Structure 1
């Protein structure tokens, strides 16, 4: 008898993890980030249980990483850069973060459990990388092409804002997550104000200092 092929049979291991991850997260509400959640996800997605367990044999952080990767991919599909480019930068960032929050709606318990796992000392470095990757994905969709120091400061700042917003979101019981959204808006407003001030200072410095003018003076000193 010819075995029945499923969608999962043609996926790479990383793609399989991303396929399973949202179902693992849904099961983690009840079962935590462990093998029982993986088994439930395998059943939901019609994937061999043994294959699913192998895909996540590195444990809870592998499951959480795949969950975050699945949200990254969904964000790219739902909010293409070409559409975001029509909006002010503040609105682009707000929409990207809000989309990610909507993807987590109903999974607050899974998020709280994931945050506890990510906060363990041995997982801090990996957690920081995941936060950086998500911030980088958001800035790239927002159209940022900075390659100087701003590249790093923007991502570090957004990663901090996103992490803080998730902490509020996980325990927010207000109608429509109003407290979380207000918190997010305040943080984005603060960053935009900082970027404006920073830009003004940099322009002011540029008015007072010109490397070309300095080199010219060194080569052709003014007469005394």
Structure 2
């Protein structure tokens, strides 16, 4: 493989990052639209062909890149944060809070992105991004589950994060105190659910009733099971053993 081919992904990433930085000036006003795309091209001086190689869907791909960049920044900050004194549920809440605080500087761009991904034709992409955020949180916390719990943890946290994000976008309280209280309530709801599951497993009647479904779920493996926690790509969608 030539040197040029080896560096192509890096060049595309650098181009996308430059376009995103320029787009964030315009997205709060014009959304993640062609108007923002054209403004980013004009501001950076990047030609259309080069830009389209990095972001084929124009403004839409920049919105996706913006969300993913927030996840990466959250993971970076999480690695620098001492969570040892917190209970596990508090650690989850802390990382969600960090993720939203990362977005605070570009709150209107986040709002425009939420509107974009709520459209029916974009809902699948939006769901993937929220799932990616949930996965980033669990990965930052060192989650090593390789069975059905891998999916359930991320599905539940996706619901918690998406509802908290929407609350945060409309919250005008000082320091977003209402949002953090809302987040704590959602986490408490999850913990009550987990407690109920544990009690059901201990109950002789429900244990018998759930034996069949539990056996079926136990055969489901996480994507890349055996590679989680190694830093290697895990992929999707997993498998049934």
Same fold (TM over 0.5): yes
- Counterpart check, 1:140 vs 2:139: yes
Q: How does 1:90-101 map to 2 (within 5 A)?
A: 90-101=89-100
Aligned match of 1:48: 46
* Post-superposition offset of 1:196: 2.4
Residue correspondences, number: 202
Aligned match of 1:34: 33
Aligned match of 1:4: none
Contact 2:131/2:158, CA 8 A, preserved across alignment: yes
Contact 2:23/2:39, CA 8 A, preserved across alignment: yes
Q: How does 1:1-224 map to 2 (within 5 A)?
A: 11-18=10-17, 20-38=19-37, 41=40, 48=46, 50=48, 51-52=50-51, 54-80=53-79, 83-84=82-83, 87-204=86-203
Contact 1:17/1:63, CA 8 A, preserved across alignment: yes
* Post-superposition offset of 1:128: 1.1
The alpha-carbon distance between structure 1 residues 58 and 10, as it changes in their structure 2 partners (threshold 3 A), is: closer
Instruction: Report the Cα distance in structure 2 between the residues aligned to 1:106 and 1:82, rounded to whole angstroms.
Output: 20
Max Rg structure? 1
- Unaligned residue ranges in structure 1 (runs of 5+): 1-8, 212-224
Instruction: Report the Cα distance in structure 1 between the residues aligned to 2:120 and 2:9, rounded to whole angstroms.
Output: 37
Q: TM-score scaled to structure 2, two decimals?
A: 0.71
1:163 aligned counterpart, secondary structure: helix
Instruction: Report the Cα distance in structure 1 between the residues aligned to 2:17 and 2:144, rounded to whole angstroms.
Output: 27
124-133 vs 75-84, which deviates more?
75-84
The alpha-carbon distance between structure 1 residues 63 and 10, as it changes in their structure 2 partners (threshold 3 A), is: closer
* Post-superposition offset of 1:178: 1.4
2:161 aligned counterpart, secondary structure: helix
Q: TM-score scaled to structure 1, two decimals?
A: 0.76
2:172 aligned counterpart, secondary structure: coil
The alpha-carbon distance between structure 1 residues 26 and 16, as it changes in their structure 2 partners (threshold 3 A), is: same
